[in-house]
Amino acid sequence: MSTQVEQGVIDEMRMKAIQSFGRDALKNGGITHVWIGSKFYALSVDAVDIEVILKRSLEKDNLTRFARNLIGNGLIFAPETVLGLKLDLNGTKEKQLMESFNMTFKLVTARMAEPWLQLDALYKLLPYQRTFEKNKEILRRFVNEIIKEKRKQIKDNIKIDTGDTKSIKSFLELHIVSSGVDGRFSDEELLEESLVILLAATNTSAVGFHIALKNLFGAVNTCSILVQLPQNMIPYLKSESTYP
C-alpha cells in the first residue's frame, strides 16, 4: 500500500510540473523551455504551432536510442490486447515477467535522464548493463515463445480462446494472419512491434486513461457534458439505431 501511495504522490508531482510548464508557456506567447538532464527542449502549447512542428519535424529525439536496445526497430500494458494472452499475476513466470518489465523500464528512463549514463563505453562497464541485458532477455524470450505458439495455433487452425474477448483478435494474431502464407512478418519483426506497444501503452494510454477517469469521477457535471457533446455532434447517436 505504501508503494502505491508513493507512486501516487510522484504522479501528482509530475502532473503539477506539466501544469506549471503549460502556465509558463501561456504567459510567454505559447512557448517555454525545459532542461531534462543535459538535453534542452522547447515546449509549445499553441495548437497551430504544434501542428506545424509535427508536420515538419518527424524525427525522434536521440534519447530514443536507449529504448532501441530493447525494442529493436519496432515502429509503433495490455498483454491481452497486444498478445492475446491473459496473465496470472500470481504465477511465478508472470511475476518474473513483470519484475523484468519494471526493471528494464527504470534502466532505460534512467539513461535518458542522467547524462553520465548516456556514454555507451562507460555504461557497458557498469553493473546496470548486465542487469539490463538479463531482464531484456527475459522479456524478449517470453514474447517470442508466445509468437511461436500463436503461429502454430493459427497454422493448425486451432480456435484461440481469449475468454471474454474471444471474438476479438489481438494485435499479434492480426499481424500473423495478415502475413499470409508467405510469412511477410518475421518472428523478430513481430517481437519488436509487440514490445513497442507493450512499453508505450504503460506510459501513455494507460496513464492518461487513469488520470482522465480520476478527474471525471470528481466532476459529475463534466461527465454529463462529455456524454452530450458527441450526441450533439453526431445525430444518430441520440437514437437507438445502430451505427450506419
Cell of 192: 519488436
E strands within 45-86? none
**Interatomic CA distance for residues 149 and 86, integer angstroms:** 14
CA distances from 63 to 36, 55, 108, 165 (A): 11, 21, 10, 37
The predicted pLDDT at position 44 comes to 85
The predicted pLDDT at position 240 comes to 46
The dihedrals phi and psi of 132, each to the nearest 5 degrees, come to: -65, -50
Q: Which long-range contacts (CB under 8 A, 24 or more apart) does 55-64 make?
A: 63/39, 63/111, 63/112, 63/118
The kind and range of the H/E element at 80 are: helix 79-83
**How many CA within 13 A on the CB side of residue 32?**
15
The predicted pLDDT at position 94 comes to 67
Q: Which long-range contacts (CB under 8 A, 24 or more apart) does 45-48 make?
A: none
81 Cβ partners below 8 Å, 6+ apart? 170, 171
The predicted pLDDT at position 241 comes to 41
The predicted pLDDT at position 106 comes to 86
Q: What is the DSSP string of 99-144?
A: HHHHHHHHHHHHHHH-GGG--HHHHTTSHHHHHHHHHHHHHHHHHH
In one-letter notation, the amino acid at residue 231 is: Q
Closest CA to 13 of 77, 5, 105, 103: 5
Residue 29: helix, strand or coil by DSSP? Answer: coil
**Interatomic CA distance for residues 6 and 12, integer angstroms:** 10
The predicted pLDDT at position 89 comes to 52
The predicted pLDDT at position 81 comes to 44
**Interatomic CA distance for residues 214 and 14, integer angstroms:** 15
Task: Provide block-wise average pLDDT over 10 residues at a time, the chain (244 residues).
Answer: 63 80 86 79 81 66 62 47 53 74 84 84 91 89 81 69 54 70 70 72 60 68 71 57 40
DSSP 91: S
